[in-house]
A and B are shown apart, each in its own frame.
Chain A
Amino acid sequence: KNQVEQSPQSLIILEGKNCTLQCNYTVSPFSNLRWYKQDTGRGPVSLTIMTFSENTKSNRRYTATLDADTKQSSLHITASQLSDSASYICVVNCVEYGNKLVFGAGTILRVKS
């Protein structure tokens, strides 16, 4: 069973709309949780990194939240743009595994005009 579960698997929204992607994890203990954006044919690019003591982190139109008690994180995208179309991957840095990253399967977002 994957230790990092993301939902939805895919999502289609209209340009300009907001959306929220979810991430539930069972990895414990962890040192930080990361969100990456992966464009088709490219490597993942870091959006946010949050330690277990942080509740929220913003990067331009991306806002990530973290609830370490419920082991949930979300990524909110505001005023979506066509260039936001990509896969968004939730990644947990697992202390038990020597600080290795545990990847979710990703949410594929498509923004259409």
Chain B
Amino acid sequence: NAGVTQTPKFQVLKTGQSMTLQCAQDMNHEYMSWYRQDPGMGLRLIHYSVGAGITDQGEVPNGYNVSRSTTEDFPLRLLSAAPSQTSVYFCASSRGLGPEAFFGQGTRLTVV
């Protein structure tokens, strides 16, 4: 059972480039979320989804897009990367908003 899988683990982008961070879960969880973790800031919610076809914004959504075409996948798109988006990104999934969330191993993104 793989749980929550994030790819890539590391990425360096140039300012203005676009890319997609992949997140897949094999637990048939309805709820999936993207967080970013920055020093001194903790985990901040970017976008989340409560089911296929349904997404909503979190605390820091600007500069990011998401879609949820399947239950398993929840990709995060950076439209035009900026140095302020240098961070560690975590994807999480859960059966609901109450039960515990399972986290991926993270994607460390550097924008130069």
Does chain A bind chain B?
A: no
B residues apposed to A, CB below 8 Å? none
